[in-house]
């Protein structure tokens, strides 16, 4: 439950000022540190309490001793953690026996994340994470600060300590919520209808169910999981069989159960989308891009525009049926254990194609998007794309004929589909290049557009395999900072060799004549 601010103008002492004195965390910060530690040690403590034996054996006492040690460590951290805001940096000091002092220049901070759970919002506090490029851990993690200080600190970092920052001018007093503390121009919001479309177009429900199943399979013995699967599968089949009689009717009943399960998964996806993206807002605040989202857990993530390294526009089959796309970006930042969840990655989880194009032009003023002219791939690119599927169909058909006889030739029915799909992929694929952007597009059922500013490209690689040489084509790979392993690669596939070499020379010359921007 959110607490509304009682005083719209916070006191000057509540907001950190450049060159000020050292400040502590929130007085209740030790509680949040304790809860975080208990999450890590929950399983061992539960084993001691419930599996360890009788109370007189001492296991319960050892559990209480462990909890007391965690409480002492949390309180210790509160009394030893200090931070100070200087003109151009943040100074963090912690530790008692082993003292640590970290100086974090504002210019080094690339991503600022404010995180609020329901408990944070009840206490009017937020967790602040400051991340830099390439770091595996945050430069500073403050668990927790009063909301007014967290917002003021974010503004100071955003303005790089400029004298006109005026920290705390717009933040509320104790109990202010992230959603109420935003500034800048709102570029995109997601009303209820868009969140429902997002749930329908995503597979978040399937991911959650699959993850829960995998976790249960690892946690429970194999025989128990096997028995549960057989039991519930048998019950489903038996229920379908009792409803109707006859083989065809039973098949239809099982198909109906499958459709019902898929519908429930989509419903779960819609609920997850409503929870994760409730109150979504994309804001432009000077040189920074800020995203706010979340119903139960509220996230506010801010990153400088020039930290965005590459863009991906994506639309799956359901997106196309709904007339929607999504926009994701690669940003330079840390790669900690939960950076994927808290980093700014989705600028538009779902939006109309026109809104996505307008968003790109807003964040990259002066960029020509969408490109005027797309260049096609090599004329024989569809043959190169169809070749792996044709070879696979021939191998499967040969193996099936050897094992089953002439009926195995049915596997060759894959050939027409493989060629049709290759033509469709090659027909949509292409690339565009101007003075500022290099873009590629591809896909058929699921389409994508990926592009980057030329001065953000950090490496070039011209690749030509045996098949490529036989077809007279090559692939040009381009690397940017911040790309995740799951990101769509930025590559120009199956273009003529002479064209690929000319592009390689041009881009190499452009990169040699300009400094790489991070």
Edge-first strand order for the sheet with 308-315 is 346-351, 325-331, 308-315, 447-453, 437-443, 430-433
Q: How is residue 341 written in tokens?
A: 């969840």
Statement to judge: residues 203 and 111 lie in one domain:
no
Q: Domain range holding 62?
A: 12-169
Per-residue pLDDT 10s for the chain (518 aa) are: 333 333 333 443 444 555 568 888 888 888 888 888 777 666 565 555 555 545 445 556 666 777 777 788 888 888 888 888 887 888 888 876 778 888 888 877 878 889 998 889 888 999 998 887 655 677 788 888 999 888 888 888 777 544 333 444 444 444 455 554 446 789 999 999 999 999 999 888 777 777 776 666 665 555 555 666 666 666 555 655 565 566 666 677 677 777 888 888 889 999 999 999 999 999 998 788 999 999 988 999 888 888 899 999 999 999 999 999 999 999 876 444 454 455 688 999 999 999 999 999 999 988 889 998 899 999 999 999 999 888 988 898 899 888 888 888 888 888 889 899 999 999 999 999 998 999 999 998 899 999 999 989 988 999 998 989 999 999 999 998 877 777 888 999 999 999 999 999 999 888 877 654 44
> For the chain, what is the largest distance between any 2 Cα atoms, rounded to a whole number of angstroms?
86
Q: Are 111 and 333 in contact (CB under 8 A)?
A: yes
CA proximity to 310, closest of 436, 456, 109, 515: 456
Statement to judge: residues 259 and 398 lie in one domain:
no
Q: Say what the pTM is.
A: 0.78
Statement to judge: residues 160 and 19 lie in one domain:
yes
CA angle 178, 208, 290 (to 5 degrees): 25
CA angle 10, 11, 15 (to 5 degrees): 80
Does some domain include residue 110?
Answer: yes
C-alpha 329/C-alpha 364 separation (Å) is 12
Q: Alpha carbon 157 to chain centroid distance? A: 23
Does some domain include residue 290?
Answer: no
The strand pairing partners of 302, in sequence order, are 112, 290
Statement to judge: residues 81 and 142 lie in one domain:
yes
Number of domains the chain contains: 3
Statement to judge: residues 162 and 203 lie in one domain:
no
Statement to judge: residues 231 and 271 lie in one domain:
yes
Statement to judge: residues 231 and 150 lie in one domain:
no
């Amino acid at each position: 439950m959110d607490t509304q601010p009682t005083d719209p103008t916070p006191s000057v002492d509540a907001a950190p000022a450049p060159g000020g004195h050292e400040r502590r965390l929130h007085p209740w910060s030790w509680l949040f540190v304790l809860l975080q530690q208990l999450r890590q040690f929950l399983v061992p403590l539960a084993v001691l309490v419930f599996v360890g034996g009788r109370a007189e054996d001492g296991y319960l006492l050892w559990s209480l001793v462990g909890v007391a040690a965690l409480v002492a460590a949390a309180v210790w951290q509160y009394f030893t953690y200090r931070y100070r805001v200087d003109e151009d940096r943040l100074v963090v000091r912690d530790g008692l026996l082993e003292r640590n002092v970290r100086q974090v220049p504002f210019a080094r901070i690339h991503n600022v994340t404010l995180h609020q759970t329901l408990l944070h919002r009840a206490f009017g506090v937020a967790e602040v994470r400051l991340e830099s490029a390439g770091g595996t851990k945050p430069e500073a993690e403050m668990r927790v600060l009063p909301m007014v200080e967290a917002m003021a600190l974010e503004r100071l970092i955003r303005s790089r300590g400029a004298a006109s920052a005026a920290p705390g001018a717009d933040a509320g007093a104790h109990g202010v919520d992230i959603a109420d503390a935003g500034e800048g121009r709102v570029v995109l919001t997601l009303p209820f209808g868009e969140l429902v479309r997002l749930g329908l177009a995503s597979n978040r429900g399937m991911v959650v169910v699959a993850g829960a199943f995998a976790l249960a399979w690892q946690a429970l013995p194999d025989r128990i999981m096997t028995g549960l699967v057989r039991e519930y599968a048998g019950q489903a089949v038996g229920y379908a069989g009792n409803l109707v009689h006859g083989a065809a009717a039973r098949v239809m009943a099982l198909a109906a159960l499958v459709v019902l399960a898929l519908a429930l998964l989509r419903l779960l996806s819609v609920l997850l989308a409503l929870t994760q993206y409730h109150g979504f807002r994309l804001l432009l605040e000077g040189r920074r891009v800020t995203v706010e989202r979340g119903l139960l857990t509220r996230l506010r993530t801010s990153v400088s525009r020039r930290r965005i390294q590459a863009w991906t526009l994506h639309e799956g089959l359901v997106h196309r049926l709904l007339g929607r796309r999504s926009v994701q970006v690669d940003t330079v930042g840390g790669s900690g254990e939960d950076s994927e969840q808290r980093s700014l990655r989705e600028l538009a989880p779902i939006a109309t194609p026109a809104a996505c194009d307008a968003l790109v032009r807003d964040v990259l003023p002066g960029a020509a998007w969408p490109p005027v002219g797309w260049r096609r791939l090599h004329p024989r690119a569809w043959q190169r794309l169809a070749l792996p599927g044709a070879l696979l169909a021939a191998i499967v058909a040969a193996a099936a004929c050897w094992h089953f006889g002439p009926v195995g030739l049915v596997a060759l029915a894959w050939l027409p589909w493989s060629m049709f799909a290759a033509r469709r992929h090659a027909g949509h694929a292409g690339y565009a290049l101007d003075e500022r952007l290099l873009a590629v597009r591809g896909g058929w059922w699921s389409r994508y557009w990926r592009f980057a500013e030329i001065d953000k490209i950090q490496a070039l690689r011209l690749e030509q395999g045996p098949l490529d040489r036989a077809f007279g084509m090559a692939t040009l790979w381009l690397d940017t900072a911040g790309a995740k392993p799951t990101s769509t690669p930025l590559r120009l596939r199956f273009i003529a060799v002479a064209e690929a070499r000319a592009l390689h020379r041009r881009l190499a010359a452009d990169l040699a004549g300009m400094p790489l921007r991070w």
